[in-house]
Structure 1
Amino acid sequence: MIDVETIASKWANVYELALPADLEGGYDAANNRILISDRLTPIQRRCVLAHEISHARHHDVGCKCDSATERRADMEAARMLVNQLEYQSAEIIFDGDECAIARELNVMPWVIRAYKNWLHDSVAA
């Protein structure tokens, strides 16, 4: 399993703190900080941190960037967290059920949706 904590520390300083209930994480470009909610489960934390790493890598500015930026961050997080062979196996075993695949791969369902989008875009390109 990839160590997102180590990867994140290469791109920004990571701070865990109390964030508003509707916010799981964010990237503060002005201070080069990734902010992660202190109420997340380990799986949620890993997924949100991978998403915020994308924002840090691209030095994205602003809260709730445009949909293309968020989509890119989701897909980069998915590519970081999902092993292709494990995904293929889980896809067959669970007949495409995103929640079951997510449980099997220890990620959030949105990560599986983003991975599927990346696969679709890769084939279309």
Structure 2
Amino acid sequence: MTRLSQPWVVHQATVDTQVVTVRPLQPADADSIFAMHERLSPESVYYRYLQYRRPTLAEIATVCHLAPERGAGFVAALPAEPGTVVGVAYYVREAYTAEPTAEPGILVEDRFQAQGIGRRLWQQLQHH
């Protein structure tokens, strides 16, 4: 991932009177993404990972430390609640395929689902 001294804002929207900021994923986001996973319903975990197992902090940190040639990601955060991430989207490039391919992943915390956050995160991945 590209290291930024100051995270830049890609998109800001109001969801149920809360401002949600979409910005690039940073290594410091690992703990916040892990905490978001703890707030997810079992259904949301299953629909994202196709199993009821939540990723470990180490697995999340791996995604947060991707080199730019390996992938990219974005988070949806609440500026009014520093350190609170409510959505994450990323892709990891496949290393051993003849054609350039990548595996995307998008996850939005239950109480923020169906409000356009996942779509905004997906749009950022498409434009990256």
The TM tier, using the shorter chain, reads under 0.3
Higher RCO (C-alpha under 8 Å, 6+ residues apart):
2
**Higher helix proportion, which one?**
1
* TM-score, with length taken from structure 1: 0.25
Q: Please, what TM-score do these two structures have when normalized by structure 2?
A: 0.25
